[in-house]
């Protein structure tokens, strides 16, 4: 309903006396805004469009009314012009404004109940008095489309005239004529847009009156060379419809270090960082950033060894080869009646010296699962205990987001369920819970005992004399 009111604005030029004004004016602003919004946010491709108004003093074939927003294609216009110009010679006046858009009518046409401010008085009168058709949105591809099309339909070449030269022109009505009147559009300096359009309207009126004086039957077309406003939207293919995450793209996660036996991974290790540093120095070297070779790794049902050899010389200035090895073993523990694996040792070998760390105490998980820990260090919340050596250990380890599995890998390249080093409650929480609940229990017990103390009522005698406490000595 709202959009039909919008198109009826154009039709009001032709159908005067409608009471549509009062009906629509209150909604027209909203509709214009909504239409603008719709045009702005519609996901369709924008096509440049130009309106075309056509009126004739000797009748025009009817034009089937189209849906609002429908963009008339050039073929449709050509078909209509063929049907309009099929019989006999026609004189066609083409008022070609430099730029024209539907919005010019909206802004300057006095459509908000202020008809007296409208800049298209003569145009409206002409549309009203003659039979007229309107193409509110004509597909615009290039400037010369309309003149070329008219030229083709009429079979004559165009003649450029203006309002002053027209009275002196004699028009041969036995042949078709195509007269083009160029009208300017607003520029940023000089007269205001409204004045320019008003002047154009005056030119149209003058030309039409000249034609009337000459008693020439004409068909007039008012259109623009190019649209004055093009609202372009992004095409559908660039921004697909639908929702998408707004956050930054998550970077690709690197795959784990896999040691394959007969095609399938047998030992897998993943860490965000495998930081090592010499004791006493503060610089950390991240082994996970480099690709190691896995020679020397073994994997069978009870022992797995993952040997990572880093052979680049730039790790340390005087290191050619850095070998880190992770040794795991699994066996059956009768008390819990299941197989557990432990990371027995992590060895770091460089320059002929070896540092060894024991992890069997802290790094363990059921054999079917993988072990994961956010922080595996040798110096802070120690999980890897350095073996006692005469000088203190050469290296310090700091593995971040560490996950390892040496047995039970049947699931392709995925880790099994990760048994995490962090449980739900920490030991401190358990201690607090124990003592706290104990206190609570004692308190409740005492409270219960006190609350069941009653005042003795064995010797109460409601009928006897009540106790009297003398006030005076």
Partner 1 sequence: MLLECMMNGHAILYTGVTLAFWSTILIVGLCYTIFDLGFRFDVAWFLTETSPFMWANLGIGLAISLSVVGAAWGIYITGSSILGGGVKAPRIKTKNLVSIIFCEAVAIYGIIMAIVISNMAENFSGTTPESIGARNYQAGYSMFGAGLTVGFSNLFCGICVGIVGSGAALADAQNGSLFVKILIVEIFGSAIGLFGVIVAILQVK
Contacts with partner 1 by CB under 8 A lie at 336, 338, 340, 361, 366, 382, 385, 419, 423, 427, 430-431, 434-435, 438, 442, 448, 451-452
Give the CA distances from residue 254 to residues 173, 291, 308, 376, 413, in Å, rounded to whole numbers and listed in that order: 82, 11, 17, 20, 13
DSSP of 32-87: HHHHHHHHHH--SPP--EEEEEEEETT-----PPPPTTPPBPHHHHHHHHHHHS-S
Residues 6+ positions from 70 with CB-CB distance below 8 Å = 137
The DSSP letter of residue 196 is: H
Nearer to partner 1, 246 or 451 (CB): 451
From the CB of 366, what's the least distance to partner 1, in Å? Answer: 5
Q: Please, what is the minimum distance in Å from the beta carbon of residue 391 to partner 1?
A: 20
Q: Give least dist CB 434 to partner 1, A.
A: 8
CB-nearer residue toward partner 1: 112 or 415: 415
- Least distance from partner 1 to the Cβ atom of residue 398, Å: 18
- CB closer to partner 1, 37 vs 422: 422
CB of 465 to partner 1, least distance (A): 20
41 by Cβ neighbours in 10 Å (0-12 / 13-18 / 19+) ranks as exposed
Nearest-angstrom CA–CA distance, 357 and 344: 8
| Residue 344 tokens, joined | 């027995």
User: Which of 192, 435 has the CB closer to partner 1?
Assistant: 435
Residue 181: half-sphere exposure toward Cβ, Cα within 13 Å: 22
Cβ of residue 377: shortest distance to partner 1, in angstroms?
13
Least distance (Å) between residue 468 CB and partner 1: 20
In whole angstroms, the minimum distance from the beta carbon of 431 to partner 1 comes to 5
Q: CA dist 14 to 53, 59, 131, 415, Å? A: 10, 14, 8, 76
Number of neighbouring beta carbons within 10 Å of residue 291: 10
The distance of closest approach from Cβ of residue 1 to partner 1 in the complex, given in angstroms and rounded to an integer, is: 59
Q: Measured from the CB atom, is 302 or 435 closer to partner 1? A: 435
Q: What whole-number distance in Å separates Cα of residue 397 and Cα of residue 378?
A: 5
Q: In angstroms, what is the minimal distance from the CB of 357 to partner 1? A: 14
Cβ distance to partner 1 smaller for residue 29 or 361:
361
User: What is the sign of the dihedral through the CA atoms of 231, 234, 240 and 244?
Assistant: negative
Q: Pick from 135, 111, 118: which is nearest to 49 by CA?
A: 135
**Which CB sits closer to partner 1, 118 or 366?**
366
* Shorter beta-carbon distance to partner 1: residue 318 or 336: 336
Spatial separation of the C-alpha atoms in residues 212 and 122, rounded to whole Å: 14
The gap from C-alpha 430 to its chain's centroid, in whole angstroms, comes to 47
Nearer to partner 1, 46 or 377 (CB): 377
Instruction: Give me 430's structure tokens.
Output: 């358990």
Q: Is the dihedral of CA 163, 164, 167, 171 positive or negative?
A: negative
Least spacing, CB of residue 233 vs partner 1, in Å? 52
Q: Based on CB atoms, which residue is closest to partner 1, 46 or 339?
A: 339
Distance between CA 288 and CA 283 in Å, rounded?
15
Per-residue tokens: 67: 């849906």
Beta carbon nearer to partner 1, 284 or 340: 340
Question: What region, left, alpha or beta, does residue 190 occupy, with left being phi > 0 and alpha being psi -120 to 50 degrees?
Answer: left
């Amino acid at each position: 309903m709202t959009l039909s009111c919008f198109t009826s604005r154009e039709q009001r030029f032709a159908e005067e006396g409608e009471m549509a004004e009062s009906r629509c004016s209150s909604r027209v602003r909203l509709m214009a805004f909504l239409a603008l919004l719709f045009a702005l946010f519609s996901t369709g491709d924008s096509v440049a469009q130009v309106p075309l108004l056509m009126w004739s003093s000797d009748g025009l074939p009817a034009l089937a009314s189209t849906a609002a927003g429908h963009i008339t294609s050039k073929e449709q216009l050509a078909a209509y012009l063929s049907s309009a110009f099929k019989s006999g010679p026609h004189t066609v006046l083409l008022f070609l404004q430099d730029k024209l858009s539907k919005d010019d009518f909206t802004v300057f046409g006095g459509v908000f109940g202020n008809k007296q401010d409208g800049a298209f008085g003569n145009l409206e009168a002409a549309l009203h008095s003659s039979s007229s058709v309107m193409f509110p949105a004509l597909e615009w591809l290039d400037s010369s489309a309309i003149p070329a099309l008219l030229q083709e339909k009429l079979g004559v070449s165009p003649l450029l005239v203006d309002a002053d030269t027209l009275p002196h022109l004699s028009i041969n009505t036995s042949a078709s004529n195509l007269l083009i009147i160029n009208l300017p559009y607003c520029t940023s300096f000089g007269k205001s847009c409204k004045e320019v359009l008003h002047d154009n309207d005056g030119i149209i009126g003058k030309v039409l009156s000249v034609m009337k004086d000459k008693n020439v039957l004409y068909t007039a077309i008012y259109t623009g060379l190019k649209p004055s406003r093009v609202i372009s939207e992004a095409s559908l293919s660039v921004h697909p419809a639908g929702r998408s995450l707004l956050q930054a793209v998550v970077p690709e996660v690197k795959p784990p270090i896999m040691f394959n036996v007969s095609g399938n991974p047998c030992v897998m290790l993943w860490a965000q960082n495998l930081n090592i540093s010499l004791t006493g120095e503060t610089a950390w070297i991240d082994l996970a950033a480099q690709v190691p070779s896995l020679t020397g790794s073994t994997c069978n049902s009870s022992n797995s060894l993952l040997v990572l050899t880093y052979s680049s010389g730039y790790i340390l200035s005087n290191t050619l080869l850095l070998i880190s090895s992770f040794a795991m073993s699994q066996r059956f523990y009768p008390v819990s009646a299941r197989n557990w694996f432990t990371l027995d040792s992590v060895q770091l070998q460089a320059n002929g010296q070896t540092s060894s760390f024991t992890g069997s105490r802290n790094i363990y998980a059921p054999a079917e699962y993988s072990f994961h820990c956010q922080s595996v260090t040798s110096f802070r919340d120690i999980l890897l205990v350095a073996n006692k050596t005469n000088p203190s250990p050469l290296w310090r380890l700091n593995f971040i987001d560490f996950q390892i599995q040496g047995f039970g890998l049947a699931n392709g390249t995925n880790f099994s369920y990760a048994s995490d080093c962090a449980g739900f409650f920490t030991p401190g929480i358990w201690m607090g819970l124990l003592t706290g609940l104990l206190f609570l229990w004692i308190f409740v017990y005492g409270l219960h005992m006190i609350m069941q103390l009653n005042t003795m009522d064995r010797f109460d005698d409601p009928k006897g004399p009540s106790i009297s406490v003398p006030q005076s000595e």
